[in-house]
């Protein structure tokens, strides 16, 4: 009831009391903690397994940790923000890990990659383009989410319908090709070759059109449309890894779904003690 339906221990205690079965919230927490201590070893082992994966998706969301809230009130830590990072690793087996604390998601992923076997090639990571997502201590092939670039055009489509329709349509064609790849059951190498043949010309034309509009001042660089164009142009290499590397994904939807699954329950009165 707590971790599936999102009911806090105190509410469960009241429900149990109505049913004539006393079960204090503190007792519930002790029972959960006992099981969590056993499974914590499994969690730690999964870090080593995840570190050797081929691809990592990661994203974060805000979190509330009571012990950190008290520290923020009594002390002045360098960082006061609290986040939960979701990291989804793809390899021989899919692994999803959550880390809650004051670290940025790039730092949390760095801690995992520190455990990576040194003989392996750099991991491929997928996230949005924020600097906090970048690894500091380890090499990686960093891909950025093309959907984040598309959203910028979606948000201003009513203001710049013609220009935004062109951008949205161009990215839509890439996803049409991705759907064809899945329908045909192509492997990772064949997927790369398919995108290079069919998606590369579309992306090249898209880039040239955005650059032309900015260079010839058809679009004001400081406008929202200029910002949408510059977001993509500045991250072009990372947004087009799927045209360069075998297995590079298009977007970070995998990590975002993991965050949504967590938030679906945590936003319903759940919080972390420590």
CB-facing half-sphere around the CA of 96: CA atoms within 13 A: 12
Average of per-residue pLDDT values in the chain:
91
The pLDDT value given to residue 247: 94
Q: Is 257 left (phi over 0), alpha (psi -120 to 50) or beta?
A: alpha
Token representation of residue 163: 């220009």
Residue 269 has pLDDT above 50, yes or no: no
The pLDDT value given to residue 266: 57
Residue 9 has pLDDT above 50, yes or no: yes
Domain range list for the chain: 9-144+254-266, 146-249
Distance in angstroms (rounded) separating the CA atoms of residues 130 and 114: 21
The pLDDT value given to residue 70: 85
Inter-axis angle of helices 161-184 and 224-234, nearest 10: 30
Percentage, residues of the chain above pLDDT 90? 73
Give tens-digit pLDDT for 76-130. Answer: 778 888 889 999 999 888 999 999 999 989 999 999 999 999 999 999 999 998 8
- pTM (two decimals): 0.86
Residue 268 has pLDDT above 70, yes or no: no
CB-facing half-sphere around the CA of 156: CA atoms within 13 A: 17
Which whole number is the average pLDDT over 17-41? 91
pLDDT-derived band of residue 52, with 50, 70 and 90 as boundaries?
very high
Q: Choose the weakest-confidence range: 31-35, 178-182, 251-255.
A: 31-35
3-class secondary structure, 140: strand
Residue 212 has pLDDT above 60, yes or no: yes
pLDDT-derived band of residue 30, with 50, 70 and 90 as boundaries?
very high
The pLDDT value given to residue 271: 54
Give tens-digit pLDDT for 242-264. Answer: 999 999 999 999 999 998 877 65
| CB-based burial, 96-135: b 16+ in 10 Å, e otherwise | bbbbbbbbbbbbbbbebbeebeeeeeebbbbbbbeeebbb
Which whole number is the average pLDDT over 35-43? 89
The pLDDT value given to residue 64: 82
For residue 186, which phi and psi values (nearest 5 degrees)? -75, 145
């Amino acid at each position: 009831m707590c971790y599936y339906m999102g009911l806090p221990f105190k509410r469960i205690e009241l429900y149990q009391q109505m049913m004539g079965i006393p079960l204090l919230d503190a007792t519930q927490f002790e029972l959960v903690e006992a099981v969590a201590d056993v499974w914590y070893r499994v969690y730690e082992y999964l870090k080593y397994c995840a570190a050797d994966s081929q691809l990592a998706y990661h994203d974060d969301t805000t979190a509330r940790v009571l012990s950190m809230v008290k520290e923020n009130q009594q002390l002045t830590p360098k960082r006061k923000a609290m986040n939960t990072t979701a990291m989804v690793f793809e390899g021989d087996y899919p692994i999803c890990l959550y880390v809650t604390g004051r670290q940025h998601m790039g730092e949390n992923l760095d801690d995992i990659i520190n455990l990576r076997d040194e003989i392996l090639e750099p991991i491929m990571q997928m996230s949005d383009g924020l600097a906090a997502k970048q690894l500091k201590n380890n090499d990686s092939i960093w891909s950025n989410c093309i959907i984040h670039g598309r959203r910028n055009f979606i948000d201003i489509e009513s203001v710049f319908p013609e220009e935004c329709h062109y951008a949205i349509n161009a990215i839509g064609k890439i996803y049409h090709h991705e759907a064809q790849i899945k329908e045909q059951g192509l492997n990772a190498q064949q997927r790369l070759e398919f995108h290079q043949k069919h998606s590369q010309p579309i992306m090249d034309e898209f880039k040239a059109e955005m650059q032309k509009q900015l260079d010839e001042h058809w679009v004001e660089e400081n406008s929202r449309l200029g910002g949408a164009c510059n977001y993509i142009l500045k991250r072009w290499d990372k947004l087009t890894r799927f045209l360069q590397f075998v297995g590079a994904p298009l977007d970070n939807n995998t990590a975002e779904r993991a965050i949504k699954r967590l938030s679906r329950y945590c936003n319903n009165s759940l919080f972390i003690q420590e």
